[in-house]
Amino acid sequence: MDVEVLREDAGGFEVQLAGEDHGFLSLLTSFLDRSEKVESAAYKVEHPLVGVPKLFFRLKGVKADDEIPVKDLKGVGPKTAEQLEAVGIDTAGKLLLSTPEKVSERTGIATKLLEKYFEEARKVVPEDKFGYRAVLKETLTEISKEMDKVKSEV
């Protein structure tokens, strides 16, 4: 399974799961829905033959006011902030969803300079700021335990 985080903010967590299908995503959303921490969970596959499944879920109690604007990162001036915001990168968390190389391609900002901004963003944004990754890991562990239980009963 190839996992790519598409979105991770106060509004929710969205990941693309290449190599998976409806069966696994249905099971995963079912287990996420059972969690008392999860407000809602869903998935979609845009095309049954060539679409890559996307999982989305939102946790209860996550607040948007915790997000740090990209313009507040050390070294990011008004012009650079404007360039980043023009491509949808308005918070430090959104910056960290990409790579310096990809952001450079989209904005024209030098990769070396972006590496410094990424370093500053990592200082102010904890690895799992909103708790999505921990909940996903717990859910996958729970699914694994259930599968082991089923195997042992067969």
Residue with tokens 């012009």: 79
* Residues 51-78: tens digit of each pLDDT: 889 999 999 987 765 678 999 999 999 9
Q: Is 34 helix (H, G, I), strand (E, B) or coil?
A: helix
In the chain the domains, ranked by start, together with CATH numbers, are: 2-63+128-143 (3.30.1360.10), 69-124 (1.10.150.20)
pTM: 0.66
Gap between the Cα atoms of 83 and 109, Å rounded:
8
Gap between the Cα atoms of 137 and 139, Å rounded:
5
Residue with tokens 């799992």: 128
* Residues 37-56: tens digit of each pLDDT: 999 999 999 887 778 899 99
* Residues 84-139: tens digit of each pLDDT: 999 999 999 889 888 999 999 999 999 999 999 999 998 888 778 788 999 999 99
Stretch (H or E) spanning 40: strand 38-44
Give the side-chain half-sphere CA count within 13 A for 94.
Answer: 20
Q: How far apart, in Å, are the Cα atoms of 95 and each of 7, 10, 43, 57, 123?
A: 10, 15, 24, 20, 13
Count the Cβ atoms, other than its own, within 10 Å of residue 78. Answer: 8
Strand partners, 69: 91
What is the maximum alpha-carbon separation in the chain?
63
Strands 38-44 and 2-9, bridge-based pairing: unpaired
Q: How far apart, in Å, are the Cα atoms of 74 and each of 65, 68, 101, 140, 149?
A: 19, 11, 20, 37, 51
